[in-house]
Amino acid sequence: MRLRFLLRPGWLALTAVVFTFAICCFTLLAPWQFSRNAEREQQNSALTTSFTAAPVPLAQLLPPGSEPGQRTEWHLVSITGQYLPDKEVAARLRTVQGEGAYEVLTPLRTADGTVVLIDRGYVRLDSKSGMLPYAPPPAGIVQVTARARADETDPKNRDAFADDSTGGKLQSYVVDSRVVARAGKLDIRPGYFQLDVGQPGVLDALPLPQTDSGPFLSYALQWIAFGTMALLGWLYFTVRELKPGGALNASSAPTRRKSVSEILAEDEYAESGPQR
């Protein structure tokens, strides 16, 4: 039967590969990209809401002991307190709009004694990749509006440091309230707060993230297309092999039986030998 070729080891292996790939496309790869697209849409919605929402007091958005998360990050808060410039740390190896920069992190003590970390913005590099001079924060009590941000994490858990290469200025590899707290021996609440344009103490304000949808939806559709193409290709070659002359069943096609006259002629030829 023509369907016997479906049971050949080579064809069984090809079928297993094609169907495994298609199943992965439909049940793993495409759903994963769809879920990432949904997460990006949720994030963009939260960002858009936070960009336009009015500032609220810090304790209202983040009660004591809590830290910024997906629901609260980027929301505007109002904070009143006094900068602690002697505890300042600069985050190194930053990139802003495609160029190298430092971010200036200055603790601020609020009216109730809580210390928060303020990201005052960025400073460009000089010709030797050092930090250009920048203005100190204002003295005295200030009221700032800033965006709540979650701490970054250094996989190597490195502390802030100062040496000749930094000109004696404390520098860190991440923007992390825990690193600044250890460096200044302060009790800083989790997270940090990024200043907007025009706020007291701001340098060059960091740009807000773009709310683009990303490539995840197109990637999901591509995986569905790849899985469908694999199945259609397998079906095409299966149908082709079922037809007469297929490459796989050509070798198994029945041979034509010889007639009696052909058999007798061959026997006579064999007995008499070739004629000269």
What is the reported pLDDT for 71? 83
Strand, coil or helix: 66: coil
pLDDT at 270 over 80: no
- Strands 171-172 and 192-195 come out as unpaired
Q: Whole-angstrom Cα distance, residue 124 to residue 170?
A: 17
Vertex 248: Cα angle to 247 and 250 (nearest 5)? 65
Strand, coil or helix: 9: helix
Q: What does the pLDDT average to over 202-226?
A: 90
What is the reported pLDDT for 8? 79
Strand, coil or helix: 204: strand
* Alpha helix ranges (H) inside 54-109: 58-61
Higher per-residue pLDDT: 247 or 167? 167
Higher per-residue pLDDT: 209 or 108? 108
DSSP secondary structure letter of residue 190? S
pLDDT at 6 over 60: yes
DSSP letters of 209-254?
A: PP----SHHHHHHHHHHHHHHHHHHHHHHHHHHHSTT-TTTSTTSP
Nearest to 77 by CA among 207, 199, 203, 206: 199
Q: Whole-angstrom Cα distance, residue 25 to residue 34?
A: 12
Q: What does the pLDDT average to over 215-243?
A: 90
What is the reported pLDDT for 259? 61
pLDDT band at 11 (very low <50, low <70, confident <90, very high): confident
pLDDT over 90, % of the chain = 59
Q: What does the pLDDT average to over 73-92?
A: 95
Cβ–Cβ under 8 Å, residues 103 and 119 = yes
**What does the domain layout of the chain look like in residue ranges?**
1-52+214-249, 55-195
What is the reported pLDDT for 267? 62
Q: Whole-angstrom Cα distance, residue 136 to residue 89?
A: 12
What is the reported pLDDT for 261? 61
pLDDT band at 9 (very low <50, low <70, confident <90, very high): confident
pLDDT band at 244 (very low <50, low <70, confident <90, very high): low
Q: What is the pLDDT of residues 86-131, one digit of tens each?
A: 999 999 999 998 999 999 999 999 989 999 999 999 999 988 888 8
Q: What does pLDDT average to over the chain? A: 87
pLDDT at 227 over 80: yes
What is the reported pLDDT for 274? 58
Q: Whole-angstrom Cα distance, residue 95 to residue 118?
A: 18
Q: Whole-angstrom Cα distance, residue 214 to residue 240?
A: 41
Q: What does the pLDDT average to over 27-32?
A: 94
Joined together, the tokens standing for residue 115 give 């210390």
